[in-house]
Structure 1
Amino acid sequence: MMARLVLRDVDVQHGRTRILFGVSASIAAGQIVGLIGPNGAGKSTLLNAIAGQLSAKGKILWSGKPVDARDIGFMPQHCQVRAELSVLEVILLGRHEQLGWRIADDTVNAASRILAFFEISDLAARSMQTLSGGQQQLVLLAQRLLREPQLLLLDEATSALDVRHQMHVLKLLKDYVARTGALVLVAVHDLNLAARHCETVMLLNGGRLVAHGAFQKVITPDILRSVYGIEAEFIPSQSGTPVILPLSPTSVEANPMEKSP
């Protein structure tokens, strides 16, 4: 039976402020799912709730059981290493529960392979403190993949990367999903990246799940006006995936579905 992430009426409240409102979805493994929506939509909150970093009401189940933080890979939005560690040492910490006084050769070999996978083998001996923000982001993502989690939660894991590295990482994630059958849930702001690399998307707005499905069914001119507050043109591409070209801002229309009860 294929693994599945199930969300049932997930609510998150911080003090007197309700951030998520009854988010429900059933998401099969074996795909990359883009978590999209404007700033403040609840994307980071939902990922943190799934990862067990925030208290939430409702049900969050992975393969029919509560999510075990030890079995998932989670990369929060602002993730940095401040300790004086080398890149290779940081990668190896991805299997910290297996490390002892002597690191097994197969663990070192696996770390070397993941560095090559991300095309950052030349950084292995470098201190994390000498890396750019984008390089650190690549290292920390590689660290998460070293454990080969079946559920990978990424909060804007490509935000510090240039265009080439964004495309490279998303291609690597596709290869990873094809090889392992994992579920990757990634918050992403760039709608064109989501359109090209995500099998399905979940659109959040005002703490509610507005739509869940194939990108071209979820993202329409009306949605861009009402949720993102923009006028945009959809330009056909050779791949068959339309390119979204923002044209101008527009006033965001009030949507009764987005009001608090």
Structure 2
Amino acid sequence: MTARLVLRDVDVQHGRAKVLSGVSASIKAGQIVGLIGPNGAGKSTLLNAIAGQLSTKGKILWSGKPVDARDIGFMPQQCQVRADLSVLEVILLGRHEQLGWRIADDIMSAASRILAFFAIGDLAARSMQTLSGGQQQLVLLAQRLLREPQLLLLDEATSALDVRHQMHVLRLLKDYVARTGALVLIAVHDLNLAARHSDTVMLLNGGRLVGHGAFDTVITPDVLRSVYGIDAEFIPSQSGISVILPLSPTSIEANPMEETP
């Protein structure tokens, strides 16, 4: 399988600070890629750059061409609905360019399927303003998937969810990838979630890509010490995936690079 997303020496400048520097990677579709790294590493910046939300230097290509915003699903970190819309109305906006005075039966059917897929059909008539942060996050993710994008960019899309719902959403994303062959890039803070649910990971630190590949080859005790500033144990689990148990912090040094939203 050839790479569908190609990054070549991607730089992002914010004021006088370079927040991404020389990021290069070739990424195959049909997988979930966990975007990991400490605070301020550049995860949000990279996702925004791929989505075309930031001015960049270098090349960002999808299937050999510049990324077309109409072909992707992008869910930024600070994503919420302030209008008094129902859950169903928000879901339907995922196909806003196809909506008219009358909503076609196939679009309504697709909306019903995605509500069922996320097990939120009982919320369809509810106003978004009455939902918890986690429920809103589920609705907004479902909205992105209604389009069935081949490139899905998610910036901490499970941050407001409890552990059970985090695992449920990541399992749904894996099913979505298996069904559509899409590529999902998701920024994840929880390394154990990334280890269990990502096919590969990209590790950012100080605006640079410092690791790319299978989780257990990228994340080692030395990397946790040098990048995350912690000492940790790797405890084997019955599933065959080691669990990272943080033990103590090492020294924390100021990071000269600041991540933009």
TM-score normalised by length of structure 1: 0.96
Whole-Å Cα distance in 2 between the matches of residues 119 and 191 of structure 1? 26
Shift of the alpha carbon at 1:251?
Answer: 1.7
User: Are the counterparts in 2 of residues 225 and 252 from structure 1 also a CA contact under 8 Å?
Assistant: no
Query: Are 1:228 and 2:258 matched, yes or no?
Result: no
Shift of 1:254: 10
Q: Which runs of 4+ in 1 moved over 6 A?
A: none
Match for residue 172 of structure 1? 172
Is the partner of 1:73 in helix, strand or coil?
strand
Name the counterpart of 2:62: 62
Deviation by residue 1:226-253 (Cα, 9 ceiling, x = unmatched):
0000010100011111000001101258
Residue identity opposite 2:135 in structure 1: Q
Report the counterpart of residue 9 of structure 1 in structure 2.
9
Partner Cα separation in structure 2 for residue 54 and residue 254 of structure 1: 25
Quote the offset at 1:17 in angstroms: 1.1
Unaligned runs of 5+ in 2: none
Partners of 1:199 and 1:252 lie apart in 2 by 30
In structure 1, list runs of 5 or more residues that go unmatched: none
C-alpha separation between the residues in 2 aligned to 1:120 and 1:137?
11
> What secondary structure, in the 3-state scheme, does the structure 2 residue paired with 1:161 have?
coil
How many residue pairs match? The answer is 256
Say whether the 8 Å CA contact 1:226–1:253 is kept in structure 2.
no
Q: Distance in 2 between matches of 1:73 and 1:192?
A: 25
The 5 A counterparts of 1:102-141 are 102-141=102-141
Tell me how far apart the structure 2 counterparts of residues 3 and 144 of structure 1 sit (CA, whole Å): 23
Q: Determine if the alignment matches structure 1 residue 187 to structure 2 residue 187.
A: yes
Do the aligned residues in 2 keep the contact of 1:231 with 1:250 (CA within 8 Å)? Answer: yes
Identity over the aligned pairs, expressed in percent?
89
**Partner in structure 2 of residue 147 of structure 1:** 147
| Partners of 1:153 and 1:187 in 2: CA distance | 8
* Structure-2 separation of matches of 1:64 and 1:234: 39
Could you tell me how far apart the structure 1 residues matched to 2:75 and 2:254 are?
33
C-alpha distance in structure 2 between counterparts of 1:163 and 1:135, whole Å: 14
Query: 1: distance between equivalents of 2:59 and 2:190?
Result: 29
Q: Distance in 1 between matches of 2:3 and 2:113?
A: 26
Tell me what 1:209 maps to: 209
Closer, same or farther in 2 for the Cα pair 1:229/1:22, shift >3 Å?
same
TM-score normalised over the length of structure 2: 0.96
Kept after mapping to 1: 8 A contact 2:3/2:26: no
SS of the equivalent of 1:237 reads coil
Give SS of 2:88's match: helix
Aligned residue in 2 for 1:82: 82
Instruction: Kindly indicate whether the alpha-carbon contact (under 8 Å) linking 1:227 and 1:252 is maintained by their aligned counterparts in 2.
Output: no
Greater relative contact order structure (CA < 8 Å, 6+ sep): 2
Change (3 A) 1:43 1:107: same
CA offsets 1:37-72 (integer angstroms, 9 cap, x no match): 000000000000000000100000000000000110
Q: CA deviation at 1:3?
A: 5.6
AA in 1 matched with 2:40: G
